[in-house]
Amino acid sequence: MTSSAVLAAASTGEAVTFWVLAPIAVLAALAMVLSRKAVHAALFLAAVMLSLAGLYAVQDAPFLAVVQVIVYTGAVLMLFLFVLMLVGVDSSDSLVETLRGQRVAAVVLGLGFALLLASALASAVGGGQGAGLAEVNAEGNVVGIARLLFTKYVFAFEVTSALLITAALGAMVLAHKEKTAQQQLTQRELAKLRFTSGHPFPLPGPGVFATRNSAATPALLPDGSEAPGSVDEVLARRQIESAEGPVTHP
């Protein structure tokens, strides 16, 4: 089947969806690569993944579309984004290579992936079809993927699961912080310190029975006297200095 026949076989909805989502995915991918901030790159990558999910849905692959949204976009990528926002990333990262040949390996792997992607696109445009694709999808996309995943590729599936569990445990070990020598006081110890301090009751709030709503206004006791400790020491000192006038230093 020629490329014109393939385009003619596609419906109008598929063509419109492709020409809407494909430019968004390409532009978001370029912005992700050229972005200087990791948070912006993660957001652009989310746009790429959502666009791919839409393309999967148009190509009658609902399982891949749902997995793309729930697992990759909703779980892995959003977790990565939240970690970046919580921890923070300095934009002035070091450009010195810590691993020798890192850039060369990245270029070689990138070219290999580009060739693999180009061959897959050429096969799809030329009318080629994956071997056994029709037999796998005979009972439906989800059933076919589940049958292959838990029969033919069950070993690879289990190895991947073990790898993910090991990575999660490693992240927990690296993020774990040992307790310092100073242990946190228990509620019993805090209560004991409070009652032995000579001031077991809470401090009065500022301006409780005052006519002015100010933190510098002391609270009044039932007999009309000022409650000690109701005004912060800094504010009380400033009031005394303002009443005595400006202090001149020799």
pLDDT at 3: 47
**Helix and strand element counts for the chain (H, E):** 11, 0
- The distance from CA 69 to its chain's CA centroid, rounded to whole angstroms, is 15
pLDDT band at residue 136 under the 50/70/90 scheme: low
Rounded-to-integer distance, Cα 204 and Cα 222, Å: 12
pLDDT band at residue 155 under the 50/70/90 scheme: very high
pLDDT at 250: 44
**Contact (Cβ atoms closer than 8 angstroms) between residue 58 and residue 18:** yes
pLDDT tens-digit series, residues 64-108: 888 888 888 887 777 777 777 666 655 455 556 666 777 888 889
pLDDT at 214: 64
pLDDT band at residue 247 under the 50/70/90 scheme: very low
Please give the C-alpha separations between residue 226 and each of 99, 207, 211, 223, 237, in angstroms, as whole numbers: 69, 10, 13, 9, 15
DSSP state of 158: H
**Mean confidence (pLDDT) of the chain:** 75
Q: Which residues are registered as beta bridge partners of 226?
A: 220
pLDDT at 130: 59
Domain boundaries, the chain: 9-88, 203-244
Candidate ranges 22-26, 34-38, 193-197; pick with highest mean pLDDT: 22-26
CA-wise closest residue to 145 among 52, 69, 67 = 67
The CATH code of domain 9-88 reads 1.20.120.1200
Residues 169-179, mean pLDDT to the nearest whole number: 73
DSSP string, 26-85: HHHHHHHHH-SSHHHHHHHHHHHHHHHHHHHHHTT-HHHHHHIIIIIIIIIIHHHHHHHH
pLDDT greater than 60 at residue 207 = no
Question: For the whole model, what pTM was predicted?
Answer: 0.45
pLDDT tens-digit series, residues 214-240: 667 777 777 777 777 777 777 777 766
Q: What percent of the chain has pLDDT over 90?
A: 4
Residue located via tokens 């792997």: 109
CA dihedral sign, ordered 17, 18, 23, 26: positive
Residues 42-48, mean pLDDT to the nearest whole number: 87
